[in-house]
Amino acid sequence: MPFVNKYHVMIYFKYNTLVFLLFFLLKFIPAQMNERIGRPFGISAFGGLKMNSSMDGYKNSSGFLTGFGVTTSIANVVFPELNYSFSNTSYGEDSIGKNLINKSKSLGFSLNSKISAFYISLGKSSKQECWGLGVKLLLGYNYSLNFKNDFNFNYVNQNDSGLELGLGINPTYSGGHKSRVSWSYYYEIIYRLDLNKNNQFAIDTHSAWQQNGLFIKLTVLHYNTFNFLARPSKEKSYKRKY
């Protein structure tokens, strides 16, 4: 009878135990290890201040802007977006004290970059998931076509063109569960710098105005996922829905 090393017996026993446990987990426990596939689809909502100032510093006023959009992402860095917005903006008062108001509706296109700056670890949850915040630097461009204006003064329309700078956070979670993998959220604060000194109309002798903005924004992305640990369906192929 050949000599049997106790060390080899122990290794053999541990290996078979591990194989049995792995088989049990895959066979009887619903396993999920999802990966993102394809390009995501998302929606966004934003709102904030639209700040007016004449270029000579003669008048300063403000209003608000709010809107929503549809978006996607390229490599989770570049985010093209189509959006609709509504703004209510004051241009100060005229010589008799009347408040000058313009209400605009706009269709816009923006191209935004979300660049990873650093990561903040928030520890583990009760389910042993690692939580954290990805901090993003934002750089983008937005062009808006003002298709409807409602005003009470001599207003000359001009479309908006702006550079966007900001800071955002993206909560992240470890694990392969579908609820964690299929959704992504971005919370952002954005400063928009007016590039065309727009709304070139005459109020007294002050005709050059700049419309900067300060906004908060939420973007939600949904990804298609594939669970590569899922057991294949036992349904016959001709009965499956593709």
Strands 60-71 and 34-54: antiparallel
Tokens of 217: 């924004």
pLDDT for res 29 = 46
Q: Using the 8-state DSSP alphabet, how is residue 29 labeled? A: S
pLDDT for res 233 = 47
Rounded distance between C-alpha atoms, residue 76 and residue 167, angstroms: 15
pLDDT for res 239 = 45
pLDDT for res 136 = 95
pLDDT for res 180 = 66
Closest CA to 192 of 86, 51, 95: 51
* Domain residue limits, the chain: 37-226
pLDDT for res 44 = 96
CA dist 111 to 74, 107, 142, 159, Å?
11, 14, 7, 17
Domain 37-226 has CATH 3.30.70: no
Residue keyed to tokens 């570049």:
78
Q: How many other C-beta atoms can be found within 10 angstroms of the C-beta atom of residue 7?
A: 8
- pLDDT, tens digit only, all 242 positions of the chain: 455 555 554 665 556 666 666 555 555 444 456 676 778 899 999 999 988 776 666 566 778 899 999 999 998 899 999 999 998 887 766 667 677 787 889 999 999 999 999 998 887 766 667 788 999 999 999 999 888 777 776 666 778 889 999 999 999 877 656 666 788 999 999 999 988 765 545 454 455 677 889 999 999 999 887 766 555 444 443 444 43
pTM value > 0.85: no
